[in-house]
Structure 1
């Protein structure tokens, strides 16, 4: 027993300094290399070979070499922390097949954001995390929001996934969505973004891309005794007086572990910059006094009143590993916001421009719960070498409250979605150079929707029209097969095929609107595929080619929604819809110049057939109906257009020496929608040209990043028709027409690791205090912003 205890006492764990994640394949050796060892998949290594006063070296290609005495390591808690080299490129990705693959073998473009990058950037929300990558454009209608745009697609044409479970539900809309902020950035260990269709693995909605968020995992102990580790973080941001706190606690045994993370954020009203268009200023805002609405002057027009809100999040995970072959994981996530104003609706002027249209417009608490159970088996089976079974339940709650100026009636819509999913994913590596991935998935969504009309003076509440048909269901069943074939040591081919079938059922309540139909039923199937190759004609030159298809089947939001899309227009249900299909081709090149300069480029083209778009419609023979007390033009979602999007994505990394490096990204996107009558218009979700340039300096425990963010202009003639109608959100050109100006920000971010337990991050964003509003956004971006983040680990 004493011998066993001594053996366990010699085992240590090697961790990444920033992410605290285990580092595998670390070479461990003494001065003359007569004694060697290597860390396993959990970062563990046994030091029994080495004497107490022997100097040990820890070396890994991706990390800075570290040396220490064995006695010191054991005395400091049997943990060794390694710092990643600046020139290290991501090597392993999981999003394409749901299993680990070498990134160099994947023909699709993938952007990875690892834990150390997340810790350094300290984003306010997960939407900001995506935006700070420099390769995803994010739109914001209000401070409590963030709607990504990728390759000319957005919202329900992009797929969100958390730990392999799709977050998209039956009421994901074509308008901007903010579900991504439900995920706490403090819980994320890494993020992978697939550019282009991902329908082979992820099914419907994965047309423009897939955003995968992988959350932190519980850490098992190295010994039989219980091990306790944790962290606490605090963040302050001056632009909205943010106060954020986070606490993390991990309890680990040899076979089980539990991880708890809780976060709370309080965001005040957002302040914009000083230098920019005066039309962005919040000169006045709404108040209600003694039963009347008033427009009052804003004493500080640079403060966007109201825009603040608060949010809290909780994640609880359990892991059980009875042996080397099986592991069971249970993850529980919960997030809830306070009410938060839809800022872009509160700044809408009246038709004469003399007042404001809305007295109130806000979202109720956005709540998200997910319970996710996964069983993973590793080892050779009869038909697989790896198996993952995932069962998940999600609950989404959202609500809307709006009232016209001087109106006593507050219109309320409340929605809930219960989502069940079951997935089976298998990996097989048995057939020579062919590696197979295959699996099946079932998803079930049920929508609850209700509407109310409240007289805010008398307090009387009566039933009103719901946003969606209450009790609607959406189901999907699918099976897929994907293969990776290494034809030569320098040539890898990947291909996949998936069949999906979708069922939708809605029954319409005709109490408030005389719908000319009673129900909507949809049953359709779709086959999607992909074929690509990754070729290294020379050691430091990579060429990639990929072609793929994607689809999106209409959901409850498309078929059954009733809502006001813009002033004077109302969207009504349309049960006669069919899926839209995307056809994509992309080519990429990467050149590595002696590990000092890496250049990357990708060109892509996507064609969307039978595109679901909002267009004028006839409701029971009428082109106008009354909605919320206003005569409104009737519109509906229709398969009324085709669209094409093309563009170029560039990247550069230059390693000037061991301390200095440069990094830059540039994205150019063009998109056009073709109407049935042959006319063309600009695509709403084609982002302006955008990019960044970073100069990084890292030495010992200090890291600094001086960087420039910039966006190009979208002229009036290049704005989509729907955006032109929102002239109150845009600047005016010389002819008085709305347009989206170009803008830039200069920023500085620094981090200092005081010791292995304490680190501090100090940033100054938008140093020149620019006043700008990102394309299609409702809220003006932050002005000069001081950010302080403190972290403590134990």
Structure 2
């Protein structure tokens, strides 16, 4: 009798356990939690747990079961069909997935409408339609990130009045900012290949609680191609071949990626090569931007040649190679391991804005170029799901990066070519946890970062090849370390009201020894040990169907890095920046209020206002070495300057976004940003250098069946002479001149049209005509004029 009861029990148990299903992402194979599962009349329902599992034994064998999630296309399955398919349900990502969830705020997925910060998401379809040359251009296409360019091989983002080392870049969750990220314009973002970017997210405003130092104005997160498993028998192959041509700089780009999927292994390989020629500016605009002459070397002598076509900016061209390899292994539904390898290298590329500066009416530089910009990222990511009392999900990210760059310059008429070369070995490790607690979620983690910097300087006589040493840009053998513990808490008080708070403690160590062979420094080394405590508090309130509110309060910081403490370089003609070991962290205090209005199903308006105060700001100011205010640098008397905690600043602004659906096929999207910033200089407030003029874009998009058209305009407001920061007023060569001979940044607009047609399920053609009216303009603070009328043709084949 006992045997029969036991047998019956085991039989019932086997039936019950056999009806536990797993819901997985169709592309990644990862479990999907919080999927609502119910029948048509909702009389029976359940939800998946953190491992994507749910029990469907309460559903009848014949009824249709509905699977619903904000981030996936709603699916309908019969119970019998699911059980015959190994108890697995695959869901496909919805087109608006990145509009609903974000990875940027807590390193784990969160619903976007429960986050107090403003997040800009860039989806795969938007990347495909924009067809950008570089990731800097991809950021600019959002209409919410301003991009400055000193040369064609560049792109320095500005967000809410901050730029360069006050913004943070991450790739696949790994911090890209290195210890030599400077306050001057950066071009590291071009190392990220837009053809291998699967999606991107931008935090507008501080992000130090999660990301630490530098995340004052914003955080730009790029997520590259992910390997995809095979859910059929055997091995699956998929991929993409892409080519693009642009007339403005005779660009030729080719890209290919291949995915190999197995049952629990997946591999993706990608390669992109781009060749960019000299960039041609527009026909209609200020004559100040024309390239009438340029320097060249003929028969061992520097000469000035007249440009056959002053619209062509000589020299600006370069080429670039990008490689990617990723491996994903999923031994069980609770574990997945990911290895990513990314490599990028450019050719030499000219620093164009240094090549047209003049001294006494003659071109100052015969050569000024960056050596190959090299970047390698090796990234190991391990994820585990568990029902332990300490966490539901844990994620380990360990990474190694190598950065290589150099600067090369030679004055016109001279034979000495000066070179400085910098390499950074960057190591990082993050351990992040997520734990669900009733109606709340707890996130906490630990981080360690180490940067080792090598730097050297040399010169070469190009006529006889004599060589020698000069001062390096940075103290050779210096190091920068960061250790942090952080936590954030999301509490859903009601269905319409949620709270998010966070706190982080960071400790920074800087170690640098200075070489006094070339300069008489009054110090031998910098030994900085400093801590920083930051926090955030935010509220989300969906008041009703018409309006939702976001309120955020946060602090952020930037610790001094090797570039701040120890660099030597010519910041501008007649000035040289020298080391300063007595630096402290700068702090930002931010408040922002946002509102999302849904006037009806077809009209949506988003408004955000913000204010940020920067205290103890590290800025470049006049300095002295042992009482000397002027020293000789590369043969030229130069005023001594250094980075100092010598200022405070404030920034405020407003951002607006409008979407109107005129019909299923026709949509209007518009973005607008206004920023005003000032910093304290010499007891008075002056314009903040990286506070951009008002800017934005407007798109009218028509999409029906296989055809899509995007008619759009991009625009930029004017900065008069009085609106320019003092440092910019002293760079007339960058700007147009007004009637008084003073530099100013004119307003501009472009009119553009993009068409996209699906030739078949495999072939996609994209044709764009940019700057149709052939405007000649430079974006604010840029050293190179933007492209004139530009025809772009792109073709991709997906298999």
So what's the TM-score if we normalise by structure 1? 0.91
CA contact (8 A) 1:14 1:43 kept: no
Over residues 223-273 of structure 1, what are the superposed CA-to-partner deviations in whole Å (9 max), with x where a residue is unaligned? 341111111000111110100000101111111111100000000000000
- Alpha carbons of structure 1 residues 426 and 40: separation in structure 2 relative to 1, 3 Å: closer
Alignment partners' CA distance in 1, 2:442 and 2:48: 28
Over residues 266-308 of structure 1, what are the superposed CA-to-partner deviations in whole Å (9 max), with x where a residue is unaligned? 0000000000001100000000112211111000000000000
CA contact (8 A) 1:446 1:472 kept: yes
CA contact (8 A) 1:12 1:222 kept: no
Alignment partners' CA distance in 2, 1:531 and 1:26: 28
1:364 to 361, 371, 381: 371
Cα drift, residue 83 of structure 1: 10
Alignment partners' CA distance in 1, 2:452 and 2:394: 29
Alignment partners' CA distance in 1, 2:71 and 2:222: 23
- Alpha carbons of structure 1 residues 700 and 61: separation in structure 2 relative to 1, 3 Å: farther
CA contact (8 A) 1:398 1:416 kept: yes
Aligned position for 2:527: 521
CA contact (8 A) 1:15 1:23 kept: no
Cα drift, residue 195 of structure 1: 1.1
Match runs of 1:298-377 below 5 Å: 298-350=307-359, 352=360, 354-377=361-384
1:727 equivalenced with 2:735 (yes/no): no
Aligned position for 1:470: 476
Aligned position for 1:418: 425
3-state SS, counterpart of residue 353 of structure 2: helix
CA contact (8 A) 2:50 2:385 kept: no
- Alpha carbons of structure 1 residues 477 and 748: separation in structure 2 relative to 1, 3 Å: same
Cα drift, residue 686 of structure 1: 0.2
Match runs of 1:702-713 below 5 Å: 702-713=707-718
- Alpha carbons of structure 1 residues 580 and 616: separation in structure 2 relative to 1, 3 Å: same
1:497 equivalenced with 2:503 (yes/no): yes
- Alpha carbons of structure 1 residues 420 and 84: separation in structure 2 relative to 1, 3 Å: closer
Match runs of 1:274-313 below 5 Å: 274-313=283-322
Alignment partners' CA distance in 1, 2:695 and 2:618: 27
Alignment partners' CA distance in 2, 1:608 and 1:355: 40
Alignment partners' CA distance in 1, 2:50 and 2:139: 28
1:116 equivalenced with 2:133 (yes/no): no
CA contact (8 A) 2:24 2:30 kept: no
Aligned position for 1:661: 667
3-state SS, counterpart of residue 538 of structure 1: coil
CA RMSD in angstroms comes to 3.2
1:378 equivalenced with 2:385 (yes/no): yes
Cα drift, residue 432 of structure 1: 2.1
CA contact (8 A) 1:245 1:264 kept: yes
Over residues 359-406 of structure 1, what are the superposed CA-to-partner deviations in whole Å (9 max), with x where a residue is unaligned? 100000000001000110013123000000111000000000000000
- Alpha carbons of structure 1 residues 316 and 564: separation in structure 2 relative to 1, 3 Å: same
1:220 equivalenced with 2:229 (yes/no): yes
1:673 to 676, 679, 683: 679
Aligned position for 2:416: 409
CA contact (8 A) 1:13 1:222 kept: no
CA contact (8 A) 1:306 1:341 kept: yes
Alignment partners' CA distance in 2, 1:515 and 1:310: 40
Alignment partners' CA distance in 2, 1:89 and 1:161: 17
Alignment partners' CA distance in 2, 1:312 and 1:246: 10
CA contact (8 A) 1:15 1:43 kept: no
2:746 to 723, 741, 744: 741
1:480 equivalenced with 2:486 (yes/no): yes
3-state SS, counterpart of residue 108 of structure 2: coil
Alignment partners' CA distance in 2, 1:123 and 1:23: 32
- Alpha carbons of structure 1 residues 252 and 38: separation in structure 2 relative to 1, 3 Å: farther
Cα drift, residue 764 of structure 1: 0.6
- Alpha carbons of structure 1 residues 536 and 286: separation in structure 2 relative to 1, 3 Å: same
Alignment partners' CA distance in 1, 2:680 and 2:542: 39
CA contact (8 A) 1:231 1:248 kept: yes
Alignment partners' CA distance in 2, 1:43 and 1:759: 35
3-state SS, counterpart of residue 535 of structure 2: strand
Alignment partners' CA distance in 2, 1:509 and 1:474: 18
In structure 1, the gaps of 5 or more residues are: 1-10, 45-54, 68-78
Cα drift, residue 593 of structure 1: 2.0
CA contact (8 A) 2:157 2:164 kept: yes
1:753 equivalenced with 2:758 (yes/no): yes
2:434 to 413, 427, 434: 427
Alignment partners' CA distance in 2, 1:699 and 1:28: 32
Matched pairs, number: 761
Alignment partners' CA distance in 1, 2:763 and 2:65: 25
Cα drift, residue 540 of structure 1: 3.3
CA contact (8 A) 2:481 2:509 kept: yes
CA contact (8 A) 1:663 1:693 kept: yes
Cα drift, residue 434 of structure 1: 2.2
Match runs of 1:542-621 below 5 Å: 542-621=548-627
- Alpha carbons of structure 1 residues 156 and 663: separation in structure 2 relative to 1, 3 Å: same
In structure 2, the gaps of 5 or more residues are: 1-21, 54-63, 77-88
Alignment partners' CA distance in 2, 1:417 and 1:193: 26
Cα drift, residue 27 of structure 1: 11
3-state SS, counterpart of residue 322 of structure 1: strand
Cα drift, residue 317 of structure 1: 0.3
Aligned position for 2:140: 131
Bigger Cα displacement from structure 2, 663-672 vs 727-736: 727-736
Aligned position for 2:256: 247
CA contact (8 A) 2:30 2:333 kept: no
CA contact (8 A) 1:272 1:782 kept: yes
CA contact (8 A) 2:777 2:785 kept: yes
3-state SS, counterpart of residue 105 of structure 2: coil
Over residues 461-485 of structure 1, what are the superposed CA-to-partner deviations in whole Å (9 max), with x where a residue is unaligned? 1111100000000000000010001
Alignment partners' CA distance in 2, 1:56 and 1:524: 57
1:203 to 212, 217, 226: 212
Bigger Cα displacement from structure 2, 55-64 vs 655-664: 55-64
Alignment partners' CA distance in 2, 1:432 and 1:23: 18
So what's the TM-score if we normalise by structure 2? 0.90
Aligned position for 1:70: none
CA contact (8 A) 2:72 2:91 kept: no
Alignment partners' CA distance in 1, 2:336 and 2:23: 22
Cα drift, residue 609 of structure 1: 0.4
CA contact (8 A) 2:251 2:276 kept: yes
Bigger Cα displacement from structure 2, 113-122 vs 317-326: 113-122
3-state SS, counterpart of residue 321 of structure 1: strand
CA contact (8 A) 2:71 2:101 kept: no
2:246 to 226, 237, 247: 237
- Alpha carbons of structure 1 residues 301 and 787: separation in structure 2 relative to 1, 3 Å: same
2:99 to 65, 72, 90: 90
